[in-house]
Structure 1
């Protein structure tokens, strides 16, 4: 049982929640209760879950020595010598086979998105994470590709405004992650070289730009003529308040408490964020479907 828990920690199973982005096109295309579409979206979720875990394990293998001097990452199974490199490589192979097998079963344009996601993250682990600005775009690309993949697997149109919202949100989360790393780990030996190329003022300006982009893009999506025609209502604009609260609350946690490097931990632990997210989901579903 202890080994299983270590394997689950290695593949970052809690981070599978990030793959819920593949359901965005399903919900906003009004196909949530269509079993065929829902089944395909679940398959996409599983594929991205295995693919993301594959990337995490690969990154841990590459960064094992660097992680051992990190105040938090030193507790990861590989860095803490709780699992061997050989075991990690076996898990990596198993995850690769699972990803390939599932991709073969639904072979379409979605599969190319998955391969692009894996390639970007491999190059990120090896090189791109050390290039200023490119590093945050690589992190953001992961969220973007999940949404695009979710649309392709069920063959639905996704609004350009929704894509822009996802882009700004992805960049916002990536930049906030860099901000927290900059404050906490910049001076730690062997940590990210790219942190030395940033300044706190520059990061905060990017945070302001991307957070504004999220809210404006989402608000424009809710009042777009195509959106109103699709849902038959203008009431989706009222959900913007939840988006605003979520952005402000996350910024508060990061700026005031220096927490939130992992957005999933915030969503699972912070009660106001949990309550706000539940309200957003319920309100959005009621407006779109009922």
Structure 2
């Protein structure tokens, strides 16, 4: 039962919540122990909230998941985790998350509540609406960044990072939709209704458009944001971002995978190396020079 609960909470997908640290890192407060502690607490609270959303989503999608070639093995769909138990766990996690969020910061609690409400609306209705489904999921990443900002007193955080975050999330989201169409083929709409409104040629155009916008936005950030070093050293990180975007596109279109970006991040070595090198460069530029 415990293993089924942990699997349903999708602990592996907690990596998505690491973006809460964006404000801490890019505002050069990573070495501030108070700011770090508050952000770390916010990270774990978002992990609890995201796990609650996953549980609710699995409960609502139980019948569709049972028809899916992979999702049918999820604990709720397979019967390993009874639905009444799953409901009780979701309620317990919410009882923990929101009071602690408010104590940590009222503004953080508001952002966390907005994140939960948006994702609840997604699970109930919005995930069935073409384009809106990915737009809403991507908004969740922007709210994570905003949550990190609400936890500390920021002085040098650039709004450009909200734009880049949203575009990158859109890129990954539409890439996931393309991979699902490829994987499920003619039965795609029976597993996820919204896929009936997408086609691979359309998604290819959307992905190419958004990838170009992401690269341009990030490039503009590297030399126009007011908080960056005046020597424009941040521009040195552009090749790593470009490679990461192209690598994900290669995985989706050539290798035919990509339906779970968080899982790809954990197993694809070239992508991991690109992200690691990007992170090292960012830390060096902000904290050593």
Shorter-normalised TM range? over 0.9
- Root-mean-square deviation (CA), in Å? 1.3
Partner of 2:195: 195
- The answer to whether the 8 A contact 1:10-1:77 is kept is yes
What does residue range 17-96 of structure 1 map to in structure 2 within 5 Å?
A: 17-96=15-94
- The answer to whether the 8 A contact 1:186-1:196 is kept is no
- The answer to whether the 8 A contact 1:221-1:227 is kept is no
Question: How far apart in 1 are the matches of 2:72 and 2:89?
Answer: 20
**What stretches of structure 1 of length at least 5 have no aligned partner?**
none
Q: CA deviation at 1:187?
A: 2.8
Question: How far apart in 2 are the matches of 1:234 and 1:48?
Answer: 33
Question: How far apart in 1 are the matches of 2:159 and 2:105?
Answer: 25
Deviations 1:29-72 (A, max 9, x none): 00001011101111110111011000000000101111001001
- The answer to whether the 8 A contact 2:105-2:151 is kept is no
1:182 and 2:181 aligned: yes
What does residue range 156-175 of structure 1 map to in structure 2 within 5 Å?
A: 156=154, 158-175=157-174
Question: How far apart in 2 are the matches of 1:277 and 1:43?
Answer: 24
Deviates more, 1:178-187 or 1:209-218: 178-187
Q: CA deviation at 1:232?
A: 4.4
Deviates more, 1:144-153 or 1:155-164: 155-164
- The answer to whether the 8 A contact 2:127-2:133 is kept is yes
Question: How far apart in 2 are the matches of 1:186 and 1:59?
Answer: 23
- The answer to whether the 8 A contact 1:108-1:153 is kept is no
Q: CA deviation at 1:225?
A: 5.2
Partner of 1:284: 282
Deviates more, 1:87-96 or 1:18-27: 87-96
1:222 and 2:218 aligned: no
Deviates more, 1:9-18 or 1:149-158: 149-158
- The answer to whether the 8 A contact 1:11-1:53 is kept is yes
Moved over 6 A (4+): none
Q: CA deviation at 1:216?
A: 0.9
Q: CA deviation at 1:269?
A: 0.4
Deviations 1:83-137 (A, max 9, x none): 1111111211121112113213213212111111111111111110111111110
Question: How far apart in 2 are the matches of 1:107 and 1:175?
Answer: 33
**What stretches of structure 2 of length at least 5 have no aligned partner?**
none
Deviates more, 1:232-241 or 1:246-255: 232-241
- The answer to whether the 8 A contact 2:158-2:225 is kept is no
